[in-house]
Structure formats: structure tokens, C-alpha cells
Chain A
Amino acid sequence: MSITEDEARKVAHLARIAVDDAALPALARELNGILHFMEQLNEVDVEGIEPMTGVTPLRLKRREDVVTTGGMPQQILSNAPDAREGFFAVPKVME
């Protein structure tokens, strides 16, 4: 499989990273190099093998569904680039 410039643009958009049109050929080339490297995986016989998610075979621990923390809006907002009146502020989302 290989990535065209158009597909590189699509991937960049899915990843929400702005890429100039002029940079797309180089990006497509780099991504293709990495994908080519990954294609070695096609040599492996994986018939009947379960895909592994994590190393711990056990079921993830469950916690009780209770509130354990909260009530700290100032700390939550303290690092925001734009916080107003107790909220995160962003550009207008809907007309």
C-alpha cells in the first residue's frame, strides 16, 4: 500500500494537524517509508492468534462508581489558554 498526496492531506486532517500543500509530497514520502518498513509484518503467519491489547492477562480492575474528587474549577482552568467566567473559551462552534 502506498499513500498519495491526497491521502496524506486526508490523514493530516484526521489528525487535526495543519500541513501546507507544499509539504505534502515530503510527508507522503516519509509516511510511505514507514509503511514500507511495517510491511515486514506481512511475512508472519498470524493465523489463529488473538490480537494482544496489553500485557496483563487479567481483566482490568474495576473501581466503585462513586465521585472521589471535584469542586476545583479554579485548578481545572488554571492552565487554560483562554478561560472566562469559570469556563474554557473557544472560537464560535455553531452559527
Chain B
Amino acid sequence: MSELNRLTIAGARDALRKGEVTAIELTDACLSAIEDAGALNAFVHQTPDLARDMAKAADARLKTGEAAAMTGIPVGIKDVFCVKGVPAQAGSRILGGFRPEYESTVTANLWNAGAIMLGKLNQDEFAMGSTNESSCYGPAVNPWKTADGAARTPGGSSGGSAAAVAADLCLAATGTDTGGSIRQPAAFTGTVGLKPTYGRVSRWGVIAYASSLDQAGPMTKTVRDAAIMLGAMASADPQDSTCADLPVPDFEAALTGDIRGKRIGIPREYRMEGMPAEIDALWTQGAQMLRDEGAEVVEISLPHTRYALPAYYVIAPAEASSNLARYDGVRYGHRARLGQGDGITEMYEKTRAEGFGPEVQRRVMIGTYVLSAGFYDAYYNRARKVRALIKRDFDQAFAQGIDSILAPATPTAAFPLGAVSQDDPVQMYLNDVFTVTLNLAGLPGIAVPVGQDAQGLPLGLQLIGRPFEEGELLNQALVLEQAAGFVAKPDRWW
């Protein structure tokens, strides 16, 4: 079998169980693809020895006939997850040299399910960004290019994960999504990205950005793979008090391909002024595909949509300023070299000025400001009230019998690196316009590749589901995936 790294999880799983391929062969194929893909800057810490050890154990387990859901499947892990003994920096200088002494629940679950660790993947610093340009490792690069040859962003913050999956450096990867950080990069790279319901997946051991919004999920080549991998990542976890005490269903079993009678909502407020005609046309086509498969497509209203972005950019930085207070140069990571007479305050201030990049500094300071005396009500409390209204919009749509909502995933296709000025944060924040509403409401959402723009770049649509009904959502996504028949792959230039 050639180019084993190009397999899907489902394809590799079946081949492994039939004995047509070994986990070691699969792992070596990925390690060699990673070796050749330095130009993508997707893997930032490689763990080939660990990968081969895990592959050997997987092959032994396969021989006993007692393979688990992902036994022998090599995956990449976003840098934000703690894996014991492997560097975890969340793309930040301030965590330089940090090697966690413990394992995140998500990665522990993946290893228990038999997955193989290939290494850590690039991301925006502390998951703050939509282009991967705020990474201390430099940006990951999108494997997709156009005739102009410009290096494009793979999106962010899970840009390394998206680039690695799209370029077949791994069979799948983990991501995290606070405002769109799984779905936007998936849409930019022609891959599938699922943000589960808040509380479906444990946050234990995931370096925090905004705790009421952060949720980890799978980034894969197909919808079926997302179902398999979500099942392996999710668990009820006493270590995370916001993790739901719910059994993890068999998501793959929910993939019946039958969506007859389902009611899919099209939110009129997502039809934004200035939306590119290609995105609008894709959205219309996607709705028609679902209609052709027997779903009922109806227009709905989510009236507070336009306030989601400003609410998010109050709430997320507020939570970040609190979460990132722990980086003080005392317990882990970077500490600034101190001058004569410098005390502990100078140590904090210099360490954080050196360790945090500009976007993280900006968000920490904005968060500090909106939480400070005199502004707490005007900004933070007001944003939390608007958040309640945004959630109520969704609750009302679902109460009216809507099963899921179809929307664009991103306002544009992947743009060249450097195209959005890092000095104009608000311009960059607009990338999240279609994704951020879900995080505020805690809902599951999935980006599915549906078409290509005139330049050949992938475009995705997003389905938004009811809370804790990822199985249903994945089934609708499967139907969309099959109807769209997106099979394009980037031409290899790296």
C-alpha cells in the first residue's frame, strides 16, 4: 500500500485489523512525511521515538485481536495540550522549556484508545489568533496555494493541526476552539473540524485561554473520522467540573446517512453585507444539497448575531487576563533576567513583557481593563448579558423544531500570510464572525469542505447542532460531505 499517511482513520483502522498494514509502517510513513514538510512549519515538537514505541505496542495489541477505537492511528497534538514529558508551550515564549509532569485527559483518552503520538502542532500563541501568525514558532503555512504562489495562512488558532491533516502528515489531529479555532482552519484547508458541545470533552490539562468558551475537538480528513475521534477524546471527567456527566455515545453508529424530515435553519442575519458572492453561492448550494436529501430548509432569525463578536472580545480577554495571570516567571517557563535592585514586581513585568507576544499582551490588557473597577458593569457585565441573549436566540430556534443550522464557516477563503495587519486587531477579529456565536452559546458545530473558489482554494460550510447531539450533527455533516463530494487535495509544493 503506497502513501499510508494519506489514509483516513476509518481506512487505516480497517487495514490494520485485516493485517494489511502495521502501525509501525503507518507511523513511519507519517514521520517521513513530517520530515519532508518542514516548509509547512506544522509540527513544532516531534516525538518519533515515542511514536515508534507506541506503534509497537499498538501492533502487539492488534495481534491479540483486542484493538480499541484508534489502535495504531498516528495523530498530531496541538501544542496547547499537556502530554507528559513532551514540551508544551501553547505557541508562547513564556512557556519555553516547559515539560508537563502530567497528561491532559484528552490525550490520555486518545492513548488509551490506542492512538499514536507523532508530535506537537503549531498554533497561535495561547490560541489567540485566526492566522497562526502570533505563534512563537512562526506561522504554519497552508498546503493550499493559488497561481500567485503566495504562502497562505492555514487559519488559526489550530493552524498547525489543519495544515498537518490537509498535507497528510498525520491521519488526524486535535484542536481547540474558543471562537472558531477548529472550524476556521478546517475551512481554510479543506478538512473537517468539529467543535463539540461545551462540556463534552474535558479541559483538564489543556492550557487555558477563556475557560467558559474553550473546547477541544477533532480535526480530520472526513466526517466519519471526526465521529471516531470524538468518541475517543470525550469522557466524563471529575478533574474538570464543567465537563458533563454524560455517557459518550457511539458517534459513528449515528452516521446513517438519512436526514429525511430534519429541519435545517438558515439564519438570515448571517447574510452579511459585503459577503463574497462565492460564499453566498456555496451556502445556497449547501442548503439545496440538504433539501435534495430530504431535509426541510427554513429561514430562521438569530437577531443578536451581530453583537456576538464584540461580546466575545470582552468576555474572552477578561477570562484570558485572569487565566494568564499564572505566568509569573516563578513556577514554570521563562523568567526575565533581572537588573540590579529589581524586585518581584519588576520580575513579573519584565517576564511577561518578554514572554507574551503583542496579541496576547493586548488581550490581557483589554481583559484587565474591562474587569477593572468602574468598567466592570459597562463592559464585562453588559457583554455577559448580551451573551445570554445570543444563547436565547439559539434556544428559541431549537424550541421551534429546528434540528440544526447551516451557515458559512468563514467570510473568505484562506488569505496570504501578512495580508491582515497585526496592528489592526479588529480587522483580524472579523474572521470569527460566523464561528464565535456557537462558543458563546456552548453549541456543537462542524466545518465541512463543500467547494472551491475561483482560485481553487477550499471553502467550507458549518452546521450548528443542538447541545450534546453531536451524533445527529455528524450525520447531517456526513450527508453534506457526500453530496458535496469534495475530494480535492493541495498540489504538493513543500
Could you tell me which A residues sit within 8 Å of B by CB distance?
1, 3, 8, 11-19, 27, 30-31, 33-35, 37-44, 46, 49-56, 60-61, 63, 72, 75-76, 78-82, 88, 90-93
Contacts and interface: CB of A to CB of B under 8 A. Distances in A.
A74 B264 CA distance: 55
B365 A12 contact: yes
Given A33-B425, A81-B329, 19 more contacts: A13-B349, A17-B349, A33-B424, A35-B366, A35-B379, A37-B426, A38-B370, A38-B383, A40-B307, A41-B307, A41-B310, A41-B383, A44-B386, A52-B384, A52-B388, A63-B238, A79-B333, A80-B331, A88-B330
Contact of A52 (B306, B314, B342, B391): B391
Interface residues of B, number: 75
Contacts of A92: 343-344
A76 B378 CA distance: 40
Contact of B352 (A17, A50, A82): A17
Contacts of B347: 90-91
Q: Is the interface of A mostly helix, strand, loop or mixed?
A: loop
Contacts of B382: 41-42, 44, 46
Nearest to B369: A11
Interface in B286-313: 304, 306-307, 309-311, 313
Nearest to A63: B238
B109 interface: no
A50 B383 CA distance: 11
Which 4 A-B pairs have CB atoms at the shortest separation, nearest pair first? Answer: A55-B442, A51-B384, A79-B332, A81-B335
A43 B110 CA distance: 45
B312 to A, nearest CB: 10
A17 B348 CA distance: 7
Contact of A37 (B313, B342, B362): B313
Contacts of A16: 325, 328, 345, 348-349, 352
B356 interface: yes
Interface stretch (B37-45, B94-102, B156-164): B94-102
B385 A51 contact: yes
Interface in B321-342: 321, 325, 328-335, 338, 342
B242 A60 contact: yes
23 contacts: A13-B349, A14-B372, A15-B367, A16-B349, A27-B365, A31-B366, A39-B310, A40-B310, A41-B379, A44-B307, A46-B382, A50-B388, A51-B385, A52-B384, A52-B388, A55-B441, A56-B198, A60-B242, A79-B97, A79-B98, A79-B101, A81-B333, A91-B338
A18 B391 CA distance: 38
Contact of B391 (A44, A55, A82): A55
Contacts of A80: 330-332
A70 to B, nearest CB: 13
Contact of A55 (B199, B238, B350): B199
Contacts of A90: 330, 344, 347
Contacts of A72: 101
A80 B311 CA distance: 36
